[in-house]
Structures are given as C-alpha cells and as structure tokens.
C-alpha cells in the first residue's frame, strides 16, 4: 500500500466514523439511543440490516469460496426470503405492538422474568463471545497479508467502532452503516470491473464465464437429495429458513435494526429490501470469486495463498521439499494455461468433438494442479500439525494486493474494514441494549424511569462490551480452538431460542415455566446430539427449535393448567 492507498483507507474509515459521531453526539433520549430516530426510513433500515449481517469475513471468505468450490454456496441463502416474510408478518408487528426495546423484553411480557433472562442470557453469551471473533477473524487475515501488527489492527478497529457506537447508539450505527455500505458496493464493483479489464487479450467476460463453467465453478443450483452434498437447494431452503428465522427474528443485533422507524411499514419494507437483494448480492460476490479463479488461469498463482505461512516453511528446515512443491505447481499451472487456451480455441472453432477433447484435457490439468495443492497442504501439516491449511480466505485479498492499481487497493481494504465496523457496531449496540434493558433494569427496577441514567448506563455497557471484544480478540490467537467452539456454540443455541419465540407467538396456552424447562431440555438434547452425531450445523436449528416446541407442549400438558402468564 502506498500513500494514496492510505489516504483512501483512512479518509473513508475515519471520515465515516467522525461524521457518525459528530452528527449523533446529542442523542440523549433512551428511545432514540436504542431504536434510532422516529423518522428513520425503510431504505436506512434495509441497508442497516444488510450491513449488520455482512461482516468483513463475508467479503474475504465468500470470493474465496467461489474460487475454491464454485458458486453453489449461494443456495445457503435460499431460506432467507421466506424467513424474512415470516418475520415481517408475525415477529415485527408483535414487537412493535408491545413497544419493546429488545426481543427478550417481549419474552418477559409474554411469559415471565426467568424466560426473558434465559433468552437474553443465551444471546449475551453467544454474541458476547462471538464479538471478539468478529474483530479477530478479519484482523488476522489483513495483518498477515498487509504485514501490519495484529494487536494494533485489533485495537484501532475496536476503538474506532466503540467511539461512534457509544456516542450515538442506534442512530450512529445506521447512519455510518449507510456510508459503509456505499464504500462496500463501490469497492466490490470496482474490483469486478478491474478484474474483467485485466483478463488477457482474447478473453472477455463471455469466455471467462465459459472457462469457469467448464471447470465446474458455476453450478449454482443442485436439486439432488443426496445428503452427502454440501450445498443443495433443499438444505439451503429448509436449513437456511430456520437459520435465517432465528437470526433475523430473535437475534437482538438484527431486531434492533428494524423495530425503529416511524411506522411498521418502514421495518417491513427494509426487510423486504433484503429479501429481494440478498441472493443476487451473494451470487455477485461468489461470481467474483469464480472469475478470480479464471483470472489466475492466465497468471502465475501461488501454490498456497497464505504466502506468509508458506514462506515461513520455505525458509525453514524442510525448505527444499517446499521449494520442490512450489516448482512442480508452477510447471503444472503453466501447462494448464496452455490447455485452457486450447479449449477456448476449440470452443471458438465450434467443433464439438475437439471442444470435448480439449475440455477433458483442461479439467485433467486442473485436477493435477489440485493434487499438488493438496500435497502442499499435507506438507504444511506434516511440518506443523497446528498449521492452518485453509487458504481460500487469502485468495481475494491476494488478488487485490497483487493486481489492483493504487487507490483501488486502499478502497478494497476500506471495504473489508467498513464491513468489519458495520457488523461490529450493530453487535455492540445490541449487546449494550440487552445488558441495560434485560439485565441492569432487573437489578435496578426503580431506575427505569430515570431516562438520562438509562442512556448513561447503556453507553457504559456498550463501551464495556467493546473493550471486552478487543480484549478477547487480543488473546484469541492463543486459543484457536476456543474460536471454533464459539462458532459452533452460536449455531447450536439458535434453534432453541427460535423455539421459545415460536411458542410465544403461536402457542398461547403454553406458559413461562413449561417453555423455560422445555428450552433447557431441548438445549441438552442438542448438546447430546452434537457430541454423538456428525451432521451439518444447519440441522441443529431445526432440531433445537422442534425439540423446544415439543417439550414445551408436553410439559404444559403435564402441568394441566393453561400458561400462568400467557398474554
């Protein structure tokens, strides 16, 4: 990165943060601090919902996913539009009718305090721990590639987001997210255009799509029922529906984004905006990754995209073996480029027989390269059993650093930071709100009427969660297994929380005690299954939800009387 890149990066990131903090510095009513301005329109809500979901990892990992496995991952989002329609039709009107600040406050009104605390506690545990990972995960990739100090990257990103989120609350979050999404869209479109322009002479967009398709990278939809297939239409529709319903309907970091606004209409249209745009947006990001794959067919590519890790081993004791793998990969990669050009020639000649033969040779050449890449990963593990062999997260950032002009590099790095700040801000805002409304107010019920004090407490608690996230991220490097555990923890809690909300909305005869113990039992079942089965985490959303609903019904049936606090 040169001075111009730094100017673009710091100008956009500091400019947006400073603007957000300055514009919202006088936010002093609790309602505005937690729910945003009454005048917030559907466009702002829609962008805020999108920005909260799209973290930096979305823009680092998803192009890498397109590069490595193709665009089939898009199917994971197929349940999202249907889930958002359910949230619009059922969840949102109830939240607004009750006038709640948090989703868990509704559980308190519908059931009792213990169920409210269970919902809030599960959210704080899962989201609070994950908040450190949201900073750590992109910071480790960006600091590795850019050569920055990891601790400084984490501290600077964390402090920047704390300043404007604490000062302006929900208003600052949605205001800055709007500008951050502008940077993200601008940057991703710039990368796409430059990628197409930089393809070699004679290879246009149509040819690039042809190569990606022939290499099996453009299989977007798979209707098969094979459970061994990672992404299919059915797993995406069903698993994705439950995951999205849990995330958008019960996770405070999302609920807080859409419960504000002048009327119910604004939240609903904001969610529908996401229901229509999310799949095309994910398709675009994955396609970008597939086109980066095509781009590298005509450029020398590294055998392992996490170059810092690879270099460390090349310069180590087994350097010769790693060097030999590197050389073999370079030769095979060059041979493959010739095969790709042969295939493009055969395709242009419209000779079906020649085209089929050239395609088979091209695919075989690609498979030979994949074998060397696998050998390289095996060599890394042999040299260091703790080595990280997943290099797809480094593909897009490597492309940016190696092939984009100065200025565009700064813009694309700004995209990653904008996404990190946007999702982090939504998360901190929700953690601060839930701690204030669902926990602090329980301890200090008499202080609930003192609005200024509530705002002060919400600000302190938001700052505390921010500092906790920074602290956790700084120590996360020492406990990589913990990060994985936290990610798993999140996915196995979501289903049960959704179950509690579905009982609240649809089973009016079930009361607080039945749903509380039903949820605890369901969570134990999910933990038990997790340790005894090996199934995709998407299914735990469905199992946890179904178990919670079933146990609640059974327990209420055993108790006999209708729900004691049912509204």
CA angle at 102 for the pair 99 and 107, rounded to the nearest 5°: 85
Nearest to 138 by CA among 156, 164, 122, 162: 156
Cβ proximity to other proteins: between 74 and 325 the closer is: 74
Minimum Å gap between C-beta 263 and other proteins is: 7
DSSP letter string, 121-190:
HHHHHHHHHHHHHHHHHHHHHHHHHHT--HHHHHHHHHHHHHHHHHHHHHHHHHHHHHHHHHHHHHHHHH
Interface stretch with other proteins, choices 151-159, 187-195, 263-271, 361-369 (CB under 8 A): 263-271
Q: Cα(55)–Cα(490) distance, rounded to whole angstroms?
A: 16
Minimum Å gap between C-beta 217 and other proteins is: 9
Which residues inside 540-559 make contact with other proteins, applying CB under 8 A? none
Q: What φ, ψ does residue 351 adopt, rounded to 5°?
A: -100, 105
Interface stretch with other proteins, choices 5-13, 111-119, 260-268, 376-384 (CB under 8 A): 260-268
Structure tokens at 6: 């730094």
Coarse DSSP helix, strand, coil percentages of the chain, rounded to the nearest 5 percent: 80, 0, 20
Regarding 241 and contact with other proteins (CB under 8 A), the answer is: no
Interface stretch with other proteins, choices 214-222, 299-307, 381-389, 513-521 (CB under 8 A): 214-222
**Binds other proteins (CB under 8 A): choice among 269, 281, 411, 521:** 269
Q: Cα(253)–Cα(308) distance, rounded to whole angstroms?
A: 35
What is the enclosing helix (H) or strand (E) of 425? helix 408-434
Q: Cα(217)–Cα(290) distance, rounded to whole angstroms?
A: 6
Q: Cα(73)–Cα(282) distance, rounded to whole angstroms?
A: 9
Minimum Å gap between C-beta 220 and other proteins is: 4
Per the document, the length of the chain is 567
Regarding 220 and contact with other proteins (CB under 8 A), the answer is: yes
Minimum Å gap between C-beta 345 and other proteins is: 19
**Binds other proteins (CB under 8 A): choice among 14, 193, 221, 467:** 221
Q: Which class for 152: exposed (0-12), middle (13-18), buried (19 or more C-beta within 10 A)?
A: exposed
Cβ proximity to other proteins: between 128 and 240 the closer is: 240
Minimum Å gap between C-beta 269 and other proteins is: 7
The residue to which tokens 């999140």 are assigned: 490
DSSP type of residue 301: -
Which residues inside 80-109 make contact with other proteins, applying CB under 8 A? 81-82, 84-85, 88-89, 93, 96-99, 109
Q: Cα(260)–Cα(38) distance, rounded to whole angstroms?
A: 7
Cβ proximity to other proteins: between 169 and 563 the closer is: 563
Interface stretch with other proteins, choices 161-169, 204-212, 384-392, 465-473 (CB under 8 A): 204-212
Which residues inside 409-448 make contact with other proteins, applying CB under 8 A? none
Minimum Å gap between C-beta 11 and other proteins is: 36
Minimum Å gap between C-beta 78 and other proteins is: 7
Regarding 360 and contact with other proteins (CB under 8 A), the answer is: no
Nearest to 398 by CA among 478, 295, 323: 295
**Binds other proteins (CB under 8 A): choice among 4, 19, 148, 283:** 283
**Binds other proteins (CB under 8 A): choice among 18, 209, 314, 542:** 209
Distance of CA 314 to the CA centre of its chain: 33
Q: Cα(293)–Cα(319) distance, rounded to whole angstroms?
A: 27
Minimum Å gap between C-beta 498 and other proteins is: 20
Regarding 204 and contact with other proteins (CB under 8 A), the answer is: no
CA angle at 77 for the pair 174 and 493, rounded to the nearest 5°: 75
Minimum Å gap between C-beta 71 and other proteins is: 9
Minimum Å gap between C-beta 198 and other proteins is: 21
Sites of contact with other proteins (CB under 8 A): 74, 78, 81-82, 84-85, 88-89, 93, 96-99, 109, 209-210, 212-213, 218-221, 233, 263-265, 268-269, 272, 275-276, 279-280, 283, 567
């Amino acid at each position: 990165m040169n001075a111009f890149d730094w100017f673009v990066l710091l100008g956009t990131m500091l400019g947006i943060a400073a603007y957000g903090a300055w514009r919202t510095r006088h936010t002093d009513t609790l309602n505005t601090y937690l729910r945003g301005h009454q005048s917030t329109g559907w466009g702002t809500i829609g962008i805020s919902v999108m920005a909260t979901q799209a973290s930096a990892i979305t823009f680092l990992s998803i192009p890498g996913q397109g590069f490595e496995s193709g665009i089939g991952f898009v199917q994971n989002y197929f349940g999202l539009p249907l889930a958002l329609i359910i949230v619009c039709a059922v969840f949102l009107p109830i939240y607004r009718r009750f006038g709640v600040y948090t989703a868990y406050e509704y559980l308190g009104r519908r059931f009792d305090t213990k169920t409210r605390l269970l919902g809030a506690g599960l959210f704080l545990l899962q989201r609070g721990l994950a908040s450190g990972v949201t900073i750590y995960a992109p910071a480790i990739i960006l600091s590795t590639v850019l050569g920055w100090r990891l601790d400084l990257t984490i501290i600077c990103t964390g402090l920047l987001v704390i300043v404007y989120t604490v000062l302006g609350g929900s208003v600052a979050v949605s205001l800055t997210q709007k500008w951050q999404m502008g940077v993200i869209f601008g940057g991703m479109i710039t990368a796409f255009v430059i990628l197409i322009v930089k393809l070699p002479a004679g290879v246009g967009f149509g040819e690039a799509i042809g190569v990606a398709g022939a290499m099996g990278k453009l299989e977007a939809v798979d209707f098969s029922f094979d459970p061994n297939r990672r992404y299919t239409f059915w797993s995406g529709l069903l698993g994705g529906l439950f995951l999205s319903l849990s995330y958008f309907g019960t996770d405070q970091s999302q609920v807080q984004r859409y419960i504000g606004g002048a009327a119910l209409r604004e939240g609903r249209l904001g969610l529908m905006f996401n229901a229509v745009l999310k799949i095309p947006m994910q398709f675009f990001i994955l396609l970008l990754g597939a086109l980066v794959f095509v781009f590298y067919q005509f450029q020398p590519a590294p055998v392992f995209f996490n170059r810092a890790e690879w270099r460390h081993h090349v310069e180590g004791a087994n350097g010769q073996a790693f060097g030999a793998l590197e050389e073999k990969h370079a030769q095979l990669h060059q041979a493959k480029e010739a095969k790709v050009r042969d295939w493009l020639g055969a395709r242009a000649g419209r000779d079906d027989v020649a085209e089929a033969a050239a395609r088979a040779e091209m695919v075989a050449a690609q498979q030979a390269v994949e074998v060397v890449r696998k050998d390289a990963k095996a060599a890394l593990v042999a040299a260091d059993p703790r080595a990280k062999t997943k290099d797809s997260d480094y593909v897009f950032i490597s492309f940016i650093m190696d092939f984009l002009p100065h200025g565009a590099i700064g813009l694309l790095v700004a995209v990653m930071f904008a996404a990190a700040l946007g999702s982090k801000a939504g998360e901190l805002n929700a953690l601060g709100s839930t701690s204030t409304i669902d926990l602090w107010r329980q301890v200090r019920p008499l202080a609930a009427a003192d609005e200024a004090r509530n705002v002060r407490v919400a600000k302190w608690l938001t700052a505390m969660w921010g500092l906790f996230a920074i602290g956790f991220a700084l120590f996360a490097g020492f406990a990589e297994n913990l990060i994985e555990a936290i990610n798993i923890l999140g996915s196995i809690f979501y289903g049960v929380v959704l179950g509690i909300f579905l009982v609240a909305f649809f089973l009016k005869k079930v009361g607080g005690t039945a749903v509380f113990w039903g949820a605890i039992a369901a969570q134990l079942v999910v933990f038990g299954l997790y340790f005894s089965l090996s199934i995709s985490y998407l299914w735990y959303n469905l199992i946890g939800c179904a178990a919670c609903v079933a146990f609640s019904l059974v327990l209420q049936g055993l108790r006999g009387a209708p729900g004691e606090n049912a509204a």
